[in-house]
Every structure is written in structure tokens, then in C-alpha cells.
Amino acid sequence: MSFDLVLFGGTGDLAWRKLLPALFQAWRHGSIPNDARIIGVARDSLSNDDYRALIASRLDVVESDKRPSTEEFTRFASLLHYLRMDLTATPDYERLAHMLRERDAQTVVLYLATAPNLFTTACEQLGAVGLNTPRTRVVLEKPLGHDLASNRDINAAVRRVFDEWQIFRIDHYLGKPSVQNLLALRFGNALFEPLWRRETIGSVEITIAEQLGVAKRGAFYESTGALRDMVQNHALQLLCAIAMEPPINAHADAIRDEKLKVLRSLVPWSPITLTRDVVRGQYTAGTLGGEQVPGYRQEAGVAPDSRTETFVALRAEIANWRWAGVPFYIRTGKRMAAHEAHIAVNFRPAPHPIYRTPLGMSNRLVIHLQPRDGLALHLFSAGSNKRGARAADVQSLAPVQLDLDFDTRFGKERVGAYERLLLDVIAGRLNLFVRADEQEAAWRWIEPIMQSWQESDEGPRPYPAGSWGPSAASALVARDGNTWMEEC
């Protein structure tokens, strides 16, 4: 199948850090044919050779096993082309349309890796020059708006030009092998489904911790913050994967219908829960990896009196028969103690314990998302099996762990998140992409949090870089006896 991929924002940070390395890996693995065409679009005045040299210099800094050799890049570079465009100028879109019609590829992918405020203009212009045919797909990067109203406006504008089946809203967490393994764990095995309910699960914890700060993205982060950047999309999509009902089949809308039910079942916020169940913080200067790092307000592009949150912890509940009364905890932040993303499913204690179990511990299933990919099942075993054990230990249990490392089991050369998603766009598979009504439901749920912060005199709580965030976050789970602040 011949295809053209037009990368709007082709010289930007996302393009050279994520998209072009992913496209190179797909080509290296034989998933992209040699007659494909990748067209970078930006305002810079570059020739095709200039653009290829720019991308070559960027690929020099990716992980060593993903870095092309000189011979490989020479062959891959033949796919790369460049077109200078002003995304507000109609004649430039006409030049792009002419370039695409000359080749007449079977599939055209238009990837908008630009600022969200350009999505509406770009889609209107693409429609005006006839680049919205049935063979066209458009990819929208997050954030899709900054609140519910702007999200609706963007989606309405895009849908005036493209049909829903042509629109691919990316959440790169859904492309991670670990998240796909989560769905396979739930719906490909009979083992856990009978236990996947409020009678046996006491709580669920979702942690997305980053050691990095905002780096050069301070100005962007100032208008975004952790709630918009991570909770509205990544964290809530993970919550949906854990909490959704089994879909009737593996088709895109069957899966997305079930996710939407979860988002619509989230208990709305009240003045009491907004105060009691939400914590925000902002990192200050601290030590990470033995090095001093600046605080958020000292980062480039950040206001010296900024109230933007770099940490969020919250407690959510789902009002349905499966999950009523089970707390779901979400924690995400920058400049935290570790680079770690995982989901911990905490099971309830045995209804009639005949053994002594370690204080404060329970059976847990930990789904590791990054940097490692795997499952760890925390169980108890007889504590008297060691030599020299006392008679009193006969009725005591000790923790044991069953560990499945997917990286070891399946190898490191699995398809990465952006590679998987890009290949799905080319193939027209929507399973791992977010539907408009999902986005709206997520924005509707978090918007009261944003409004309460705007109206509050109290800003985010400071926490030193290299910590696990505000200690107040542990209070959210203290009454449920969990280990929220522990590293899994």
C-alpha cells in the first residue's frame, strides 16, 4: 500500500524526539515500504537535503540501539521530503495539495504535531483545498484544548471537515506494550475476571512519576500543568483500562463505548471532595541523582510567582455495581524520586484469616508500565519454612512475589508506543485512539478541579525535587490503609 505522511511541525521537538525515530524504527522493521513518502512541513526555509541533514543530527542522540547506521540513514533519508508552509496561508495548502495529487498515494496521513490553536485553521484549509478525501486520515496530538469548551470547539471544527473514522486523537500511553498487555491480562485470561470487583479489591493506585522537570517547555507548561498534561488524558485512560467492562468484541467502538461508560460513571466533584480529595504541588530546588536541580519557578519561561501545579494526587470513585465504594488514587508529578509508572491493584484481606499476616500488607497485583514492563503478584507464604524458624512462626505468613518481566520474556525489540500508533493510523485501526466523547467526558470531570484552583487563595504546596511529592498526598489513602507513598 503506497502512502504519504505529512508531518505538520516537521522541525519541532515532538517530530525529532518521537515521531521520526518511530518512523525510522518502523522502516527498519520492514513495516514501512521504501516507496513511502514522509513530508516534513514547517516555516523554516529548508531544502530536502537540509531537512535530511537536520533529522540525521537529531537521530544521533536517540538510544544507541535505535540509532541508524550511516548506510541505514542514507536509505531511510530517501523517504524524507520537506515543504515550507505557513499554516495560515491558503496558497501554501494549494502547493501541498498539488504535491500530494501528483503522486496519488492510496493513503494520506496528515499529522498535526502543532500547537492546538492551529488545529481548526489547518483542518479548514485542508478541507478548502480538497485534502479531506476518504483516503485521508488526520492525526491530532494532545492537548486537544485547555478546557471543555475549547475541546468541543476544536472537535466540532475538525468534524466539519473530516468524518469521525478519519480522526485519530493520539494518547501515546495507549500505544505502550504494557497498556496493551493490561487489556490482554483482563480480557484474554479467565483468572482475574471473577476477582475484578469491589467484593475482592479494596483500592487501585495509578502512579505516573517523572524525574525530569519542564526543561525547555516552561512556557508551554505554564498554561497546562500536571492536571491537563497527565490526568485528563493518560491517567484517566489507564483508569478506564482497569475499570471498564469486557467489550462485546475487540473492535474500536466496542472498546471505546466501555471506556466512555467508566468516564461517565466517575462521581462528580463537590465542594467537600474538592478540598478533601485533591492535592496539588509544585517542585522546588532539590537534589536528583546527586546533582542540584532548580525549582519550577527558576525554570526558563516560568513566572516567578507561578501557581501552576507540577504534582497532582486525587481520590476518585466510580458509581456503578462493579466498583461502588472502591477508591481509585491517581498520582502524577515532575521532579519526583523515581521515573516510574505503575498501577497497583490492592486486594482485600482474607475474610477469615487463620494466619498472622505482615502488618499493613495485602495481596497486590502491580502492573509495571515504565521503565520496566511487567507484572508482579504479591502473595503470602508460610513463614516457618526457613531453617531455625521458631515454633511461633508456624502460624505466620511472609510476603513472596511472583514476577513476570515482559522485556525479558518478549525481548527489547517490541514495537514502541509511537511506532505502534503510527502503524495503526496507516492501517486505519482506531482501537488505540480516543474518541471525541471520551475526551469531553474527561474534561467535564476535571473542569471543577481547575475552577476551584482558580478561585482559591491557596496555591500548590511546595515539594523538594527528588521527593515523592507533597506528603499530604498520603492522607488521601491513610483511612484506607494503603501504601500510597511507597515505591513499588
Active site residues: 234
Q: Nearest 5 degrees, angle CA 160-CA 133-CA 136?
A: 95
Tell which phi-psi region holds residue 301, choosing left (phi > 0), alpha (psi between -120 and 50) or beta. Answer: left
SS3 of 223, please?
coil
Query: In the chain, what is the greatest distance between 2 CA atoms, to the nearest angstrom?
Result: 86
Give the DSSP H or E segment for 196: none
**Three-state secondary structure along 334-388?**
CCECCCEEEEEEEECCCCCCCCECCCCCCCEEEEEEECCCEEEEEEEEECCCCCC
Decide: helix, strand or coil at residue 317. Answer: coil
Closest CA to 142 of 343, 361, 443, 380: 443
- Cα 458 from chain centroid? 29
- Residues in CB range of 479: below 8 A, 6 or more apart: none
Q: Give Cα separations from 405 to 182, 352, 487 (angstroms).
A: 13, 33, 18
CA 436-439-441 angle, 5° bins: 110
Q: Which three cell numbers stand for residue 304?
A: 516567578
SS3 463: strand
- Of 315, 308, 376, 307, the C-alpha closest to 340 is 376
At a CB cut-off of 8 Å and minimum separation 6, what does 375 contact?
181, 185, 365, 366, 367, 368, 403, 404, 406
CA distance 26 to 31: 5
Which is it for strands 201-209 and 340-347: parallel, antiparallel or unpaired?
antiparallel
Distance CA 385, CA 390 (A): 10
DSSP three-state, residue 113? coil
Contact 461/142 with Cβ under 8 angstroms? no
To which H or E segment does residue 139 belong?
strand 136-140
